[in-house]
Amino acid sequence: MAKLGKRTKAAREQFAGKDDISVDAAIALVKSNAKAKFDETIEIAMNLGVDPRHADQMVRGVVNLPNGTGKTVRVAVFARGAKAEEALAAGADIVGAEDLMETVQSGKIEFDRCIATPDMMPVVGRLGKVLGPRNLMPNPKVGTVTMDVKEAVEAAKGGQVQFKAEKAGVVHAGVGKASFDEASLKANVLAFVDAVSKAKPSGAKGSYLKGIFLSSTMGPGVSVSVESATGNEPVA
């Protein structure tokens, strides 16, 4: 078994015994232990009472974080003509049609978000096996298949986060950077939790929000009180 470093050991000691704490306490704890030499991402993971293998229990959506993610998002757009020009003007990093499809097929995927105009979907559809597993396939349900490419590109660049439940019913995302102040991180966390809560599928039975956890890129995680994160905490 690998020996823990001093910093990791110290962090785990600070986290020990702290479960279901408030959002404020969790953010303060995670932020204070994000001591890597780079600006760590603050990450949220939510354990949901769903089985995404069933269509009526799939959870997916988008949320605009009020304070952005702190991450530079590279955006690719499948479009032609005026819509391609519109995408470039809006700040898209890569714009193309069949040429972009061939680039992706070759294994060169240099983007974090993929947007397409509806007429380009027959072309993009050929990339399902490549983009699908990376959660990059454009989808009208999350606004990435649209004629309004300007709005879609600006949203992606401005802090919009997509989420999708994985096989185990877990949703996770980055909600900011360790350099953000605590108030900004809290606003982002609450916005994300609210969006996932509102995305509860019709087939979900029993308890939906089973657990919420915060961590930094290199640090341990801590469980957050669901009541605190959803605004249902009892008044003392």
What is the percentage of the chain residues whose pLDDT exceeds 70? 90
Which tens digits make up the pLDDT trace of 174-183? Answer: 999 999 999 9
Mapped to the 3 state alphabet, what secondary structure does the chain carry?
CCCCCHHHHHHHHHHCCCCCECHHHHHHHHHHCCCCCCCCEEEEEEEECCCCCCHHHCCEEEEECCCCCCCCCCEEEECCHHHHHHHHHHCCCEEECHHHHHHHHCCCCCCCEEEECHHHHHHHHHHHHHHHHHCCCCCHHHCCECCCHHHHHHHHHCCEEEEECCCCCEEEEEEEECCCCHHHHHHHHHHHHHHHHHCCCCCCCCCCEEEEEEEECCCCCEEECHHHHHCCCCCC
Q: What is the tens place of the pLDDT at every residue in 2-26?
A: 444 665 565 556 665 567 899 999 9
pLDDT at 137: 95
pLDDT computed for residue 66 by the predictor: 94
Structural domains of the chain, ranges and CATH numbers in brackets:
15-69+160-230 (3.30.190.20), 75-157 (3.40.50.790)
The reported pTM is 0.82
Residue 87: per-residue pLDDT: 98
pLDDT at 212 over 90: yes
- For 68-97, write each residue's pLDDT tens digit: 999 999 999 999 999 999 999 999 999 999
